Structure 1
Amino acid sequence: MKTQAKLADVALHLNEQDEVAVATRALAAGTIIDAGEDGAITLARDVPGSHKFALRPVPRAMSVHKYGQSIGRALVDISPGDHVHSHNLGMDDSDRPHEFGTARSGPLPASGPMPTFMGYPRANGKVGTRNYIAILTSVNCSATAAKLIAEAFRGAALDEYENVDGVMALTHQSGCGLVPSSEGGQVLLRTLNGYAAHPNIQGLLVLGLGCEMVPVDLLAGNTAIPGDTLVRTMTIQGEGGVRATVKQGIASIKEMLTELNSRTRVESPASELVLGLNCGGSDGFSGITANPALGVASDKLISLGGTSVLAETPEVFGAEHLLTRRAVSAAVGEKLLERITWWHGYMERGGGTLDNNPSPGNKAGGLTTILEKSLGAVAKAGLADLSAVYEYAEPVTERGLVFMDTPGYDPVSVTGIVAGGATVVCFTTGRGSVLGAKPTPSIKLATNTEMYERMSEDMDLNCGRIVDGTATMAEVGQEIFDLILRVASGEQTVSEELGIGQEEFVPWQFGSVT
């Protein structure tokens, strides 16, 4: 006997214009669905949860819509009840009209008193959410020494310094043989300088080899470093080798610990938070649950005068027209388009295209084209106007919603956001990404209940309840905002509990190497 169901009980039809619906659970071939005005449809094959099926016929080469936007073109004639995925849906290369400022929301209304968090006011007026000591390497040659120094402060070594969150080694694969004036060289310098000046780093040991192209004094002399940051510099050649360097490095950090431990949290306005928005391992529910719920929390922060940083340029491609409509000026909108144009050239030089995305994991989760993925990804940005566009790792100075040009690869993207000044990161995932982002806490937001329950020790909040019908978008958005404040005040995220985040410091690498 064939199963019969009402559309609302088994799927989400997101926009009246959409020819597809998203299955909220696995549906078997032969299931008869009452689709209201679209009539009764019979599923032609099994449809996994979070995947799409057709409600209406779509002739070959015509656009298929989700969220009221084109997510691709039919590769063959699609009939009602067909599973819509990579076998019958391809890229839509049509030009999208780019308007500037035509859909601005204006200042978002704030209600009630200013929420607060317990943060660390810094000498330059910024407010940190953590109190870390960082060993920042100027070159890969000093990476091992940095890690050996940091290892000395793991486990019980910091038990008597309860106000210090940890000692971390920030190592990378570059710093020499790289032309500093090249585009890649400038990106690396911005990234290292951004971490050196980060509000969550209150003690800084800059460690080099001694003969590299990026000398330690260049980083330690960064004028953006807060005046209350304890700064030390060392080179392996100057100290007389690795063993001597590790010994002296440990001694230098021990000297910092007593003073840094005396620093305590102070009640601070939520408007001083800089929130990084990122997603990884996305699925068909990402743009329906966690991403728009995070957009609600982001809008609330922005309404209070705070800052949110959207990123991942390859994963807004195809939805950039929605952002340019919200740009506060034509110049801001045009800068976003300039970055996308740069990405087209960058991908062509590497033998690829921007529509190579989504990943195999994304596709297994129901995402078919980059258009579909991007339309869901920009939901993290809520409804706020787009106030600025930054290049990778540039210091974020504007308040409100801003965009940073980063790759979609999670560690590289989040490294750029943190270098820009993000003091909390919210990371949405449908497949189960486990990224940390020291010195910035990373809050994991699960898009679906099945994954959350399977990986509950790696997730901070289940946004899948929106699809389950046990929580509303507004409720989950408020939960995310409240969690942001608690984490900013010192509550540990699951990635922090596991110690994840040091190895995820991955500056974007490209440019001239000699």
Structure 2
Amino acid sequence: MANIEIRQESPSAFYIKVHETDNVAIIVNDHGLKAGTRFPDGLELTEHIPQGHKVALTDIPAHGEIIRYGEVIGYAVRDIPRGSWIDESLVELPKAPPLNTLPLATKVPEPLPPLEGYTFEGYRNADGSVGTKNLLGITTSVHCVAGVVDYVVKVIERDLLPKYPNVDGVVGLNHLYGCGVAINAPAAVVPIRTIHNIALNPNFGGEVMVIGLGCEKLQPERLLEGTEDVPAIAVESASIVRLQDEQHVGFKSMVDDILRVAKRHLTKLNQRQRETCPASELVVGMQCGGSDAFSG
């Protein structure tokens, strides 16, 4: 296991070294640290290093290994003196091995033993799933409605949520698919299924409302259809708001109609109560660990 080491020059200057064999560390401070900053181990920065960027803890020769997390993450393009900023231009990535020479894992791991003796307070849904929050999710069928949805979410947070104390929040499920998205293309099922499944998130309590434009190819009804491996979502037509409907005579009319539908769903969500659920029913999503300099 890595032993994370935090070194500081003063209460206001920090770097983080993750593994004892690392020859680089990460500058933590907002706006980075200036040239000349010194640390108790004798490290002195030779130049300004931005926050979240690497500093060389030792002299690294040209083509030498750059080590972080105890692993080689690249090779030095040239000599890098101790205390220098290691930016992308100084790092050469290892050559990737041919895929056809990599060993192939064929053994199926043994199933893990049942998780027993642990519980959490969650929201049980009619489909058997269990959520950790009680949220109103607003699904969209086309990107063109994103601006209206963002505005409505703010109005609901400000004006409606205080009246529904058991509801934790509201989420607008915007995406980038436009009016002309190819709904019959060979892989069109992928974005459709993705939006569909997000609407079924256990934290939404089965209360699905959809905002569409009206002219898009991917109509809300198509979005809610089931497939061989995805159940259909039963939604009343009253829970679908189309911004181009004739009844909408302007922006305020659209917003009022959405808020009317939202109030109905918020009333139902507000009646939900937490109950003790086994931890084995908890669905945990994993987030990418290589997203920035502080993760791994």
TM-score (normalizing by structure 2): 0.68
1:282 aligns with 2:279: no
What residue in structure 1 maps to residue 13 of structure 2? none
Judge conservation of contact 1:136–1:196 (CA < 8 Å) in 2: yes
Match of 1:191 in 2: 194
Asked if 1:216 corresponds to 2:223, the answer is no
| Distance in structure 2 (CA, Å) of the matches to 1:144 and 1:24 | 37
Summarize the Cα distance change of 1:12–1:106 in structure 2 as closer, same or farther, 3 Å threshold.
farther
Distance 1:238 1:152 in 2: 21
Match of residue 242 from structure 2: 235
The CA deviation at 1:173 is 4.3
CA distance in 1, matches of 2:150, 2:55: 47
The answer as to 2:122 corresponding to 1:122 is: no
Q: Contact between 1:208 and 1:216, CA under 8 Å: does it hold in 2?
A: yes
Could you tell me which residue of structure 1 aligns to residue 260 of structure 2?
Answer: 251
Who is 1:263 aligned against? 272
Instruction: Decide whether aligned partners of structure 1 residues 22 and 143 sit closer, same or farther in structure 2, where only a CA change above 3 A counts.
Output: closer
Q: How far has the Cα of 1:193 moved from its partner?
A: 0.8
Q: Which residue of 2 aligns with 1:14?
A: 19
Gaps spanning 5+ residues in structure 2: where?
9-15
Map residues 275-354 of structure 1 onto 2, 5 A cutoff. 275-278=285-288, 282-283=292-293, 286=294, 291=295
The alignment status of 1:155 with 2:164, answered yes or no, reads: no
Q: By how many angstroms is 1:267 displaced?
A: 1.2
* Secondary structure in 1 matching 2:260: helix
Task: Give 1:227 deviation, angstroms.
Answer: 6.8
Q: Cα distance, 1:23 vs. partner?
A: 6.8
Q: Aligned AA for 1:221?
A: E
Match of 1:138 in 2: 141
Q: 1:107 to 1:188 in 2, by over 3 A?
A: closer
Unaligned runs of 5+ in 1: 1-6, 35-40, 292-376, 378-514
Partner deviation per Cα, 1:173-231 (whole Å, 9 max, x = no partner): 43312222447854432332122211112322212222311011112334536779998
CA distance 1:84–1:99, change in 2 (3 Å): farther
Equivalent residue letter for 2:91: G
Any idea what SS the aligned residue of 1:179 has?
coil
Aligned pair count reads: 269
CA apart distance, 1:148: 5.7
CA distance in structure 2 between the aligned counterparts of 1:108 and 1:15, rounded to whole angstroms: 32
Distance 1:217 1:124, change over 3 A: same
Q: Deviations over 1:97-129 (max 9, x none)?
A: 744449x99777899x63322111122221112
Preserved contact between residue 34 and residue 45 of structure 2 (Cα < 8 Å)? no
Q: In structure 2, what is the Cα distance between the partners aligned to 1:229 and 1:119?
A: 26
Q: Find out whether 1:85 has 2:90 as its counterpart.
A: no
Larger radius of gyration: 2
Distance 1:257 1:160 in 2: 9
2:183 is the counterpart of 1:180: yes
Alpha-carbon distance in 1 for matches of 2:36, 2:154: 55
Matched with 2:12 is none
Task: Report the alpha carbon displacement of residue 163 of structure 1 after superposing the two structures with TM.
Answer: 1.6
1:95 equivalent in structure 2: 96
Higher fraction of helix: 1
Give the distance between the partners of 2:147 and 2:256, measured in 1 at CA: 13
CA contact (8 A) 2:119 2:278 kept: yes
What pairs with 1:23-38 in structure 2 (closer than 5 Å)? 29=36
Distance in 2 of aligned mates of 1:106 and 1:22 = 38
SS in 2 for 1:125: coil
Q: Is the contact made by 1:27 and 1:47 (CA closer than 8 Å) also made in structure 2?
A: yes
* Secondary structure class of the residue paired with 2:202: coil
Q: Supply the AA of the counterpart residue of 1:206.
A: V
Question: RMSD of the alignment, in Å?
Answer: 4.4
Show the counterpart of 1:74.
Answer: 76
**What is the CA distance between 1:88 and its match in structure 2?**
7.3
Report if the CA contact (8 A) 1:150-1:168 is conserved: yes
1:208–1:23 distance in 2 versus 1, CA, 3 Å: closer
Identity of paired residues, percent? 27
* Aligned partners of 1:32 and 1:42 also within 8 Å: yes
